[in-house]
Structure 1
Amino acid sequence: MKYGIIGAGAMGIRYGVMLQENAGVTVDFIETWEPNVVKIREQGGVSVARDHENRQIIPINVYSPEAYSGHPDVWIIFKKQMQLADELERDNKAGLFSDDQYVFSAMNGMGHFEKIAQYFPSDRIICGTAMIATRMDGPANVDFMGAEGTENMHMARYTNAEPDATVQAVFDDFTTAKLGPEFAPDWQGMCMSKVVFNAVTNTLCTMFEMQMGQFIEYDGVRAMSAQLFDEVFDACERAGIYLIETRQEEIDSVITVSKAYRYHYPSMYQDFSKGRPTEVDYINGYIAKLGREHDYVCRTHEFVVHEVHMAEMMRQYHQPQTDNTTATINA
């Protein structure tokens, strides 16, 4: 199998490098952030460390959409939600997409698969979630967080059908790459299970500018999490969406994952702290919208969305940091 990665950011690099190095497959990267492309070519690849150690240069193939003439079997997409529509349109105009190709994405938030479905047949879309923390400390400089073998992700077909030969081959490559894949029976329940996690950890850590380990030091974390989770589960039940984890399992995951990534700042905070737009509308905002569409008001999530946007507004009175650090716990 040959893969094309759209978005050579933190998670795109993580998936592409692990596939290339561990599974021995061919991987090409499509990147539109010019400083990243320049740095990759200047240093002969991407600089990769794991938990700040054993940094090395990993050679990769990187192209602009217009300069690429390859034909991957599978595209892997990792872009910010607010950038995705423009990216897909540019890639399509460059002639990158064909009906025989499959596409996989494990982006944060919700709404991206509907956009992807405008360019790919529904039976060739593989939905994913990834509980994998990665940070990008500048162009072509990434850090894989967490010990090797702790990666965990889920995948399901957009049609919720059983895996066909290509989907199974992708699963096998992800397994060999040590990305820790598991199949899920329903893509919406799978994705919402990740969205609700991000709606607690990412959003609250951003609002209070804290690491995940600092977040769980507060005695009221379980109560806060339960309040946010209860709204999501109630809204999803009305929408006929059933998460792959129980309410209690979601609450427990906030504690266990935050302990595992104690010194990690979630991706939403990284965007916020650098003056970039956050994805709160695609996480808490999506939950609030889903609730309204099914006659249920997620009042806490609606309030949280306003709080994050108010904090974004207040950045005009404070000078944001100027480096390009990003981090993702996919997210």
Structure 2
Amino acid sequence: MKYTMIGAGAMGYRYGVLLQELAGVEVDYIDTWQPNIDAVRSQGGVYVSRDHANRHLVPINIYTPEEYEGDPDVWMVFMKQMQLEDMLKRCAPLFKDHQVVFSAMNGWGHFEKLSQYFSQDRIYGGTALVATVLNGPGDVDFMGKAGAGSMEMCAMTEEITEVEKALAADFQTAGFNPTITQNFHGTCLAKIIFNSVANTLCTMYQIRMGQFISFPGAMKMVTQLVNEAYDACERAGYQMTRSRQEEIDAIEYSSRVSNPLHYPSMYQDLTAGRPTEVDYINGYIAQLGRDNDYVCRTHEFVVQGVHLAELAFQIHREEAKEQKIPTVA
């Protein structure tokens, strides 16, 4: 199958490059960040590293939505939630009835947006437990050993299709270790809950995942956030794909073993001066609770905590600029 990545950022590059290099499939990229497009074109591709080593150039084809004339079998969407609506509007003339779309974005809001352009039987969602850092335009770093990550995928209709099997086969060859499920909400909510802990707390306190999990009180914080999220999901009638303890164990393992040196994507947004996706992650869980007569007090607090961290970082940056003190981003 042919793939086109909507969003040439950290995750778009990771999936696209590995599908291209390991699965041997044709991959194109669509992006709207002009410095990224310019860097890729001037370099002749994207520079790829793994754990800050073995930096090499991978040739890729990158386009703006208006330039693209390709006809992929699969659109893969990896965007920030706040940017997706505009990107889909620009890509809309390219969408055709025979195409399907897959996304493993953080949060939940993207599925409502994708449903405006694709019927439910052509939408596939999932989770991606892999860590990736976009160092800058045309420069990406895959964190963790090759083949160490994992993912789950599910059709929105929850029916296993031949297309989904073909997708899973390509993902397996590319080293993503996919598992097909038949529980759409439960599958996607597991990643939202995962990110509501590791992404959010590491961002609030500006530390790596390994530093967070080494804190003596870390597991109490993990357990509190997971339990509260599961309470909200259960009140909404959603059946989860793994138990509370399995979710807690996954967060601990990823933080302590798989990606201890990783700064989560939310932290990367914070330090780059971009809005974070906390409203689509912890905010979604909090809203799910409110919609079902349950107050997720910790998640409500954490949402405001991250927004305060955004403000504090901006203030410190402006103060440092006024004093001509260099800041680390």
Q: Which bracket does the TM-score occupy, shorter chain normalised?
A: over 0.9
User: Aligned ranges for residues 7-18 of structure 1 at < 5 Å?
Assistant: 7-18=7-18
**How many aligned positions are there?**
322
Greater shift in the superposed pair: 145-154 or 70-79: 145-154
Matches within 5 A, 1:49-60: 49-60=49-60
Partner of 1:190: 187
Report deviation, 1:316: 3.8
CA contact (8 A) 2:78 2:104 kept: yes
Q: Distance in 2 between matches of 1:316 and 1:202?
A: 19
- The residue number in structure 2 matching 1:283 is 281
Return the alpha-carbon distance in structure 1 between the equivalents of residues 80 and 57 of structure 2. Answer: 25
Paired AA for residue 60 in structure 1: I
* Aligned counterparts of 2:200 and 2:20: Cα–Cα separation in 1: 33
SS at structure 2 position matched to 1:120: coil
TM-score (norm 2): 0.95
Residue identity opposite 1:170 in structure 2: L
CA contact (8 A) 2:77 2:103 kept: yes
Equivalent AA in structure 2 for residue 56 of structure 1 = H
Runs (4 or more) in structure 1 with deviation over 2 Å come to 313-316, 320-323
Match of 1:160 in 2: 158
Do 2:32 and 2:65's aligned partners in 1 also have CA atoms closer than 8 Å? yes
| 5+ long unaligned stretches in structure 1 | 327-331
Are 2:246 and 1:249 equivalent residues in the alignment? yes
Correspondence for 1:232 among 222, 229, 232:
229
- In structure 2, the CA distance between the partners of 1:316 and 1:17, relative to structure 1 (3 Å rule), is closer
User: Do the aligned partners of 2:271 and 2:313 also contact (CA within 8 Å) in 1?
Assistant: no
Higher mean Cα deviation, 76-85 or 222-231? Answer: 222-231
Equivalent residue number for residue 208 of structure 1: 205
Which residue of the other structure, out of 264, 267, 280, is the alignment partner of 1:266? 264
Q: Which has the higher contact order (CA 8 A, sep 6+)?
A: 1
Question: What residue ranges of structure 2 are gaps of 5+ in the alignment?
Answer: none
Deviations 1:179-215 (A, max 9, x none): 1111112111011111111111111111111001110
AA of the residue aligned to 1:58: V
Q: Compute the TM-score of the two structures, normalised by the length of structure 1.
A: 0.94
Q: For 2:270 and 2:248, how far apart are their aligned partners in 1?
A: 25
Residue 308 of structure 1 and its aligned partner are, at CA, apart by 1.2
What per-residue deviation string (whole Å, max 9, x for no partner) do you get for residues 106-141 of structure 1? 001111111101000110101111001111100010
Alignment of 1:89 with 2:89, yes or no, is yes
Q: Which residue of 1 aligns with 2:296?
A: 298
CA distance in structure 1 between the partners assigned to 2:142 and 2:312 by the alignment: 32
Q: Is 2:62 the counterpart of 1:62?
A: yes
In structure 2, the residue corresponding to 1:166 is in which secondary structure? Answer: helix
The alignment-based identity, stated in percent, is 56
Looking at structure 2, the residues matched to 208 and 311 of structure 1 have their Cα atoms a distance apart, in angstroms, of 8
**Which amino acid in structure 1 is aligned with residue 91 of structure 2?**
D
1:9-40 deviation line (CA, Å, top 9, x unaligned):
01001001111111111111011100001000
In structure 2, what residue type is equivalent to 1:269?
Answer: Y
Query: C-alpha distance in 1, partners of 2:144/2:311?
Result: 33
Q: Displacement of 1:313 after TM fit?
A: 2.3
Deviations 1:15-67 (A, max 9, x none): 01111111111111011100001000101100001111111100001111111
Per-residue displacement from partner, 1:249-282 (whole Å, max 9, x unpaired)?
1112221100121111001111111111000000
Aligned to 1:177: 174
User: In 1, distance between residues paired with 2:147 and 2:315?
Assistant: 43
Q: Which amino acid aligns with 1:110?
A: W
The residue matched to 1:72 in structure 2 has which SS? coil
Structure 2 residue aligned with 1:313: 311
Q: 1:137 is paired with a residue of what secondary structure?
A: strand
User: What code does the residue aligned with 1:59 have?
Assistant: P
